[in-house]
A and B are shown apart, each in its own frame.
Chain A
């Protein structure tokens, strides 16, 4: 089992719809969770971070964390074609090491 799992997609949604991206993680010592967006041929850029159970909203983006279920999600409201990218879920562990563990990413396509 991978430490951080994501559906590879592609997830295809029409413009204006809500895109829902999901991520599960296996290590209960994980303390913080990040969503990065990566356009093709570019480096990852941070979209959202979340540390506590519940929802965190930032503009069109909402991150949701459920530590009991070891589940984190990203909702994108009013999806735009410019949101088309790969979304990487990352989990930060601080046990014997300090590192971000990344999922393999979900490719999102927003259809005009």
Chain B
């Protein structure tokens, strides 16, 4: 079946602009996660959704970052007033449940470049 998809694959924006990143999880997966990976670094947790609810937003770097999920499916990560330090690859993952045994499957990522 189809895996996790993300769009756009690449986004170049100017400092101060807002951007929206989209994630389509695997059909039927109730859990959805957003991570950020800066050049040469590991993955940094941002936020997760269980259904449409986001119980833990503690990983969001600042109040410029927000995310929502609708219909238990598609999720959007919005970054307002982008800064150069926001440049990174934003990865989305989904899993069937929120359980410690569940595998998270990753999408291809969105590479964000803030000029």
| B-binding residues in A (CB < 8 A) | 4, 31-32, 34, 42-46, 49, 51, 88, 90, 92, 94, 96-105
Contact = CB atoms under 8 A, between A and B. Distances in A.
Counting contact residues on chain B (CB < 8 A from A), the size range is: 20 to 34
A51 B100 CA distance: 9
A100 B42 contact: no
Q: From DSSP, what is the main secondary structure of chain A's interface residues?
A: strand
Contacts of B35: 102
A24 to B, nearest CB: 14
Contacts of A4: 42
Interface of B: 31, 33, 35, 41-45, 48, 50, 55-56, 58-59, 91, 98, 100-101, 103-109
B52 to A, nearest CB: 16
Given A94-B100, A97-B58, A98-B31, 11 more contacts: A43-B109, A44-B106, A46-B104, A51-B100, A88-B42, A97-B48, A97-B55, A98-B48, A99-B48, A100-B43, A102-B45
A43 B103 contact: no
B82 to A, nearest CB: 22
B56 A43 contact: no
In the A-B complex, list the 6 residue pairs whose CB atoms are closest, starting with the nearest.
A104-B42, A43-B106, A102-B43, A102-B42, A97-B56, A31-B100
Which of B35, B43, B50 gathers the greatest number of chain A CB atoms within 10 Å? B43
A62 B109 CA distance: 28
A100 B33 contact: yes
